[in-house]
Amino acid sequence: MNNLFTPEHILFDANSTTQSEALAFIAIAAKKLNVIDCAESFAKGLAAREAHDSTGFIGGIAIPHCKSKHVITPAIFVVRFAHSIEWNTMDDSPITTAISFAIPEQGAEDNLRMLTKLSRAMMKQDVRQALQQGDAATVTNTLVNVIDN
């Protein structure tokens, strides 16, 4: 996974209470980490993806993502929220964690394959729990195991 995910990509959002605030938080963090070049445009891309089809899963997790020309380098973020965020999910429950993908327009196929693997793994409670509650090493190992296998 190289630089696709590093411990600094584990984020804590103490303030967001809505989906749009959560998506803006992700975009601003991605900009600060030099993953994207425009937070506003990337947040709009994430919101457009949600409007097209929700990325909400079960057990308090969503996987917001978008393919964008504003992505400088592909990345995955694990974002934990202090407040439950209302989201259209498979079990109609709010989310507390987002696994977000910043996908560049070029080379998107590899990132989309990783997204598919992660989506399948989200059905397993132990994977969700590791991403929601694990320390940096646990989160990193879980993502590597899911994506590289």
* Short-list 24, 1, 12, CA closest to 145: 1
* pLDDT value of residue 116: 87
* Number of other residues whose CB lies within 10 A of the CB of residue 119: 15
Assessment of whether the complete model's pTM goes beyond 0.85: yes
Cα 73 to Cα 31, 34, 95: the distances in Å are 11, 8, 26
pLDDT of 120 strictly over 60: yes
* Number of other residues whose CB lies within 10 A of the CB of residue 142: 20
pLDDT of 108 strictly over 70: no
* pLDDT value of residue 1: 55
Mean local confidence (pLDDT), 120-141: 94
pLDDT of 79 strictly over 60: yes
pLDDT of 17 strictly over 70: yes
Integer Cα distance of 128 and 116 in angstroms: 15
Q: Are the C-beta atoms of 132 and 96 separated by less than 8 Å?
A: yes
Mean local confidence (pLDDT), 45-71: 94
Mean local confidence (pLDDT), 59-82: 95
Q: Which CATH architecture has domain 8-143?
A: 3-Layer(aba) Sandwich (3.40)
**Surface-to-core class of residue 36, CB atoms within 10 Å of its CB (0-12 exposed, 13-18 middle, 19+ buried):** buried
* pLDDT value of residue 124: 93
* pLDDT value of residue 112: 75
Mean local confidence (pLDDT), 55-64: 94
DSSP 1: -
pLDDT of 2 strictly over 70: no
Arithmetic mean of pLDDT over the chain: 93
48 vs 3, residue with greater confidence: 48
pLDDT of 32 strictly over 80: yes
